[in-house]
Structure 1
Amino acid sequence: MRIAALKSLMVGLFAVAAASASAAPDGDITYTVKQDDTLYGLAGEYLANRSDANEIRRINRVRNPRLMQVGTTLKIPRRLLKYRPVNLVLQSFSGAVQLNLGRRVINPSIGLSLREGVEIATGRNSFVSIAGDGNSKVSIPSNSRARIIDARRYLINNQIDIQLRVLRGRGEVVAPKIDGEGRYRVGTPLVVTAVRGTEFRVGFDPDSDLSLTEVVEGDVNVATGEREVPTGAGFGVASAGDTLGETEQLLPAPELVEPGRIQTEEALTFAIEPLTGAAGYRTQIARDAGFIEVVTESIDETIEAEFEPLEDGRYFVRSRAISGVGLEGLSKVYSFRRKRVGVAASAEPAAFADAFKFAWRTEGAGDVTHAFQMWRSDNPGELLVDEVGMSNTAVLISSLEPGTYQWKVASFQIDEGDVIKVWGPVQELTVSE
């Protein structure tokens, strides 16, 4: 698979939702009859409509709804049960994020509760993190679209039922620990991944009907139709249409070259050690080690990831290798500092004869001192000028003999106890007479 197709696939992450906001969940909940239980009493306490008690009686072949044997189990369709909404909260977001509930547009805000049927869309370099019960987390990256289908906790047995569907793109899920008949399912329009507490990722490309599941921690069951594939940590499944693929091992975490160096240039760059089997790399930068507040990402065929300028501060970076079928591998998190320090310089004849003006401009913020060096290009080992600790931003030099000279300027800044020194590029000046 070409990386261009992977970019289409990777445009997004998780979100949610099935056919429509009103779609009822499938499956049953099992209830064990206790002392003094009656079918009509259970209906009043746990069913959305008491009249549905007749359906429960028919399904379970209850002869006497007022006298049921203790220990008997009842199968109750989830669609009939009362429930409380599960609290899914917009934990963080950045960039162009759109929330819709049907035709209604919802303005995103930190702490906003997201209900069933909400659709989430992210634009370029836009990200969303959603927090839920049991320390669950969903991270939705750029160019994604998704919807929340089920987000409920049934009054009977206090069982949770979460269902999320990736409509386009991909994302990361940390699922809560699930007990009993609770469910946490994340899927695509073609594949469903059921979990009971694990960390995994799901992706979907509607143009090619390609569904991806990648397991980072724990175990999941990937299913479509009647077929199900158990998938453990470090493995993934790529499925075309409703045909489940076989499990394959995820690529290991790629190493970054000097990831902890201070990023002083205008654009941020990270070199990646080549990894056998990688068709490309997804590299992300976040404000936190858990990558809840992702600020930017890059998907590249090459082994260098480049990012647009970021404000000064401390960040975290990680990269994942992408296999030929589109599965993303494991990652390692590194911390780094961003401190914009630089200098732009130029030379021109001075206002008086036989002199040249070498001037420069500081790039970045903060108190800066400078250094200036000059040498003849045919004798680089002997510095003609070597000035440090300069507070001014220009120097005049006269009486230069004909020849070719090279020179450069440095910016020095003390920040958080570190001395940051950045030399500008070597420049050349030819004196003809």
Structure 2
Amino acid sequence: MPGRVTLSVALSGPAPAGSAALADPAAVPRSTRRAPARSPLARAAACALALGLLPAAGRAEARKPNPQAMEMAVYVTQPGDSLYDIATRYLRNPADWTRVARLNRVSAPRRLQPGTSLRLPVALLRQDHLTARVIATSGPASHAFGKEPMLPLVVGGTLVEGDRVQTGENGFATLELADGSHIVIPPGASLDLATLRQTALTGSTDRVVNLHRGQVNTEVTKATRKDDRFQIRSPSVVAGVRGTSFRVNYDGDKGSTAVEVIEGAVGVDAASRAPAASVAPAPGTPLAASTQLVVARHGSLTLAGGAVGAPVALLDAPDLRNPGKVQDDETVAFDLAPITGAHRYHVQIGRDAGLLDLIRDTRSDGPHVAIGALDDGTYFARFSAIDEHGLEGMPSTYAVQRRRLALGASAGRVEGTRDYEFRWFVDQRSAGSTRFRFVLATSEDLRAPLVDRTDITNGEAVVTDLPKGVYYWTVIAEQFDGGKYFQKASPVQSFRLEW
């Protein structure tokens, strides 16, 4: 019929070398020659197009190919393959074998020549659902599928596409994806696992996380296929990567989104509230095509209703003062070297060096940061500085030894004698025996001590016939445990003798 448009041919282009040739149409099964049913509206549009009733621009638009429909995956046939088997293995709808047959001009779908290259439209390929595994959780952290009630997250649990995850105050969770990528969720965050899929035949993955509130830290395994996609979407931006370490923080009160890149690069684009008008990049879109390309040690801040923020340099990682100090006080606290331009400081504590198993998250207006009480053990602390715009800078990580050892000491004259008695005690929560060192001097810096006695096993010492004067003293508790040496000194105290 004059003016008839064969869409499958127009979209696919010429068949590649090595593809099967089209034989007599009579040899093609009847089902492959039956035109697909069309709606009345589609039939009316086709008639109008054939009769020239649509304007030229409309006809050009009708002929314009869908870019996604042009994407092809190539399958090389194996001995014993039939087109029906291939369609069952790889297509969303096995009945679409007819479209593949027309596209590749296959005349004998049951008898495919081994080594033949078949083109399969990516849009027809089946997408299998992936899962995320909970590898760490602490404090209030919960999940739910769709609109179901929230349930506590459990280590070893499995999450799927459509799951919601929330963390409360001092709540943490870490998810691991199939390729080893990690999503670390600090306190006060809310997100959806919007897409977790893998395309059959190509193996490309599509992972999309919708961030509704708070922050996520991600370590994304480097993409191995051009169509692999990993995106964090907030209401204002879309951050896409192909293997990197970065943070996304959405402030729901201000409507702003901060993207901070630690390693690699992140493409940042504006997000649309209307799904149909979304400008989020499709799988396979190069990062360089993004509105803003943010590289390592840089960040982007997008304000509510504004354009995607241009990249700016992040603050340097702060240094920890006295990094070898054992945290033996009741409250764990750190002193950081001040960073120029810092308005706040951020400290996170985890049980592992990668800080995937987080247990504390604290911010402070100054470089002295108090964490609170912690059980004894070895931890890892991550420190960063926050600039005036709220962008968090580069992190530094230190191992921290926590060993509570409360040491009390007192001294006094023994009535009726010229003896002066010193007593001390430890509130010991850790295993291991304790020995003490007692130091007495006439100077506050304890130089040239009058008494320096070590290896004391009890909790007292008596000094006799001290002359008049001012004296200074301290006691040091020493422990060996697990091959490690620990010590804690009491504050230097003083007393005056007037015999």
TM-score normalised to structure 2 length: 0.69
State the partner residue of 2:386: 322
- State the partner residue of 1:281: 345
Which residue among 180, 189, 194 is the counterpart of 1:149? 194
Q: Superposed, which structure 2 residues align to 1:330-409 within 5 Å?
A: 330-347=394-411, 353=416, 358-364=422-428, 365=430, 366-374=432-440, 386-395=452-461, 406-409=472-475
SS of equivalent to 1:151:
strand
1:118-129 equivalence runs, <5 A: 118-129=163-174
Check if 1:181 corresponds to 2:247. Answer: no
1:91 lines up with 2:157 in the alignment: no
Matches within 5 A, 1:185-196: 185-196=231-242
Inter-partner Cα distance in structure 2 for 1:220 and 1:275: 25
In the other structure, the counterpart of 1:5 is none
For residue 308 of structure 2, the aligned residue among 209, 230, 244 is 244
Are 1:260 and 1:334, in contact at CA under 8 Å, matched by a contact in 2?
no
* 1:410-429 equivalence runs, <5 A: 410-429=476-495
Structure 1 residues 377 and 255: CA distance shift in structure 2, 3 A? closer
Q: Structure 1: which amino acid aligns with 2:199? A: Y
Alignment-derived partner of residue 294 in structure 1? 358
User: Which residue of structure 1 lines up, in the alignment, with residue 72 of structure 2?
Assistant: 31
Letter matched to residue 304 of structure 2: G
Residue 156 to residue 321, structure 1, CA distance change in 2 (3 Å): same
1:376-425 CA deviation, whole Å, 9 max, x = no partner?
A: 68997675654432222234667778876554332111234444332112
Q: Of the candidates 289, 297, 301, which is equivalent to residue 234 of structure 1?
A: 297
For 2:75 and 2:381, the matched residues in 1 are separated by: 54
Gap runs ≥5 in structure 1: 1-26
**Are the equivalent residues in 1 in contact too, given 2:140–2:152 (CA < 8 A)?**
no
Q: Structure 2: how far apart are the matches of 1:185 and 1:64?
A: 35
- 1:33, 1:68 within 8 Å by CA — same for their partners in 2? no
More strand by share: 1
The CA distance in 2 between the partners of 1:98 and 1:349, in whole Å, is 60
Counterpart amino acid of 1:98? S
Residue pair 1:39, 1:66 contacting (<8 A) in 2 also: no
| C-alpha contact 1:31 1:157 (8 A) present in aligned 2 | no
Residues in 2 aligned to 1:258 and 1:277: alpha-carbon distance in whole angstroms: 22
Alpha carbons 2:130, 2:161 under 8 Å: kept: no
Following superposition, the deviation at residue 157 of structure 1 comes to 2.3
Bigger shift: 133-142 or 152-161? 152-161
Tell me by how many angstroms 1:148 deviates. 1.0
The CA distance in 2 between the partners of 1:33 and 1:383, in whole Å, is: 85
Q: Secondary structure at the match of 2:202?
A: helix
**Does the 8 A contact of 1:47 with 1:82 survive in 2?**
yes
Residue 252 of structure 1, CA deviation: 1.6
Measure how far apart 1:63 and its partner are. Answer: 11
**C-alpha separation in 2, matches of 1:381 and 1:236:** 52
The number of residues matched between the two structures is 397
Query: Which segment drifts farther, 335-344 or 398-407?
Result: 398-407
Q: 2:204 aligns with which of 159, 180, 183?
A: 159
Letter in 2 for 1:235: H
Report the CA distance between 1:202 and its aligned residue: 0.7
Contact map agreement 1:94 1:127 (CA 8 A) in 2: yes
Kindly indicate whether structure 1 or structure 2 has the higher relative contact order, using CA contacts under 8 Å at least 6 residues apart. Answer: 1
Residue 367 of structure 1 and its aligned partner are, at CA, apart by 0.9
Larger mean CA deviation between 332-341 and 208-217 belongs to 332-341
What letter matches 2:479 in structure 1?
Answer: Q
CA distance 1:295–1:276, shift in 2 (3 Å): same
Contact 1:40–1:50 (Cα < 8 Å) also in 2: yes
Greater share of helix: 2
Q: What is the RMSD of the two structures over their aligned residues, measured on CA atoms? A: 3.6
How far off its partner does 1:44 sit? 5.2
* C-alpha contact (below 8 Å) 2:73/2:202 kept by paired residues: no
* Partner amino acid, structure 2, of 1:240: L
1:207 maps to 2:261:
no
| Distance change (3 Å), C-alpha of 1:270 and 1:165 | same
Change in CA separation of 1:206 and 1:392 when aligned onto 2, cut-off 3 Å: same
Q: 1:75 to 1:108 in 2, by over 3 A?
A: closer
- Deviation by residue 1:30-83 (Cα, 9 ceiling, x = unmatched): 3346689999987755554568x59x97xxxx995794797767462xxx8643
More displaced stretch, 367-376 vs 97-106 = 367-376
Structure 2: tracts of 5 or more residues without a match: 1-66, 108-116, 272-278, 280-289
Question: Contact between 1:145 and 1:169, CA under 8 Å: does it hold in 2?
Answer: yes
Following superposition, the deviation at residue 122 of structure 1 comes to: 1.8
**Which of 157, 160, 165 in structure 2 is aligned with 1:112?**
157
One-letter identity of the residue aligned with 1:174: E
